[in-house]
Structure formats: C-alpha cells, structure tokens
Amino acid sequence: MFCPKCGSLLVPKKEDNKKLLGCSCGYKNADLGGAKIVENLRTKKEIPIIDREDNDLLPLTDAKCPKCGHEKAFYWMIQTRASDEPETKFLKCEKCKHTWRDYS
C-alpha cells in the first residue's frame, strides 16, 4: 500500500500495541486493507567446523599454518554471509589441526 499524501510505501508500525501502516511523512492508517503483518526474527546461523578425523575426505592445499608454520592444510568452503557475497574458506592444518578462515 502507498501513502495517499506523498506516494511512499507504507511500512508496518506498532503504536500502543496496535499494528498499523505508517509513512515517513507522518501519515498513519489503522485500516490494513486485509493485509496481515507478520514479524520474522532472524537467528544466528551456526557455522559447522570439521572436528572429526574425516580429514582424508577433504582436499589438501598449500597454506601456511599461523600457529605452527606447517605448509599444508585441508580446506572447505561454506556460505556464511548473504548469497551475493563470496563463500568463506576454512583451513585446518594437517599437522597441528589448528582451524582458521581465509578471507582472500
């Protein structure tokens, strides 16, 4: 629905425990016109870390461990941000099993 005063999109607002549609110009409309206002809360997504000894299933790459300096690490990629952002590359040292992220 659009504001009859300025033509902007009306957004859901709460006032005195009432749900209504309002505009930045000050216009308020208690008639939702059959529309339903639903609130969705996002929860934080847990990022899985490979802790098991299934490292032989992961690919091995040349990467220097920041903890022990070993030159080989297992890696996997996970989409941790929005879909238009690149994936995050996780690395796990072959020798000391230290896990870190590569943002490059």
pLDDT digits (tens, 9 = 90+) for 26-68: 888 766 666 666 667 777 767 666 555 666 678 899 999 999 9
* Distance separating alpha carbons of residues 103 and 88, to the nearest angstrom: 6
Confidence of residue 9 (pLDDT cuts 50, 70, 90): confident
Give the confidence band of 83 by pLDDT, cuts at 50, 70, 90: confident
d(CA 24, CA 18) in angstroms, rounded, equals 18
CA distance 81 to 87: 7
- Identify the structural domains of the chain with CATH numbers, from first to last: 1-40 (2.20.25), 55-102 (2.20.25.10)
What is the model's pTM? Answer: 0.49
Residues with catalytic roles = 84-85
DSSP conformation class of 36:
-
Q: Give SS3 for 83.
A: coil
